Amino acid sequence: MTETSPTVPVPELLDANPVLRYLLADHPDQFARAQVLIESDRRLRLSIVTLTEIGYVLTRVAGVPRADAVDALIALLERENIEVHEIETDLAVQALALCRPSGRVNFGDAMLWAVARASAARVWTFDERFPVDGIESRRP
């Protein structure tokens, strides 16, 4: 007798480039295709690595002001069909908010902070500006 297992949905991860085309609308054909996907009912996921890359490209390559980039990423994560893959989406939104007020916290540090907070991990860093709210941070 063969047992059948319930079908487990395969996570659908978004790469940075469709999100960037969607947010920047700088390539009409790719923007339209990304828009259809992102605004669909598909359950899409973003990795914290991808969020970091998008934040970097928006601010450092495309020249989008930091506050606008953060707001765009938060709005994206507030869509019903988009979640963060490794951590709770709300925690990723909190991490992105750390990046908004100034250049004090970069996108990579914000995502590492979120992972540390989600997993009660300790972060070892020389960075005196590393966010420490709710986590343990030490210097080597």
Q: What is the pLDDT of residues 102-139, one digit of tens each?
A: 678 999 999 999 999 999 999 999 999 999 999 999 99
Q: What is the pLDDT of residues 47-103, one digit of tens each?
A: 999 999 999 999 999 999 999 999 999 999 999 999 999 999 999 999 999 998 867
Instruction: Indicate the domain borders of the chain.
Output: 12-102
Q: What is the mean pLDDT of residues 16-23?
A: 98
Hey, is 13 helix, strand or coil? strand
pLDDT, residue 100, reads 87
Q: Taking the mean position of all CA atoms in its chain, how far away is CA 55?
A: 8
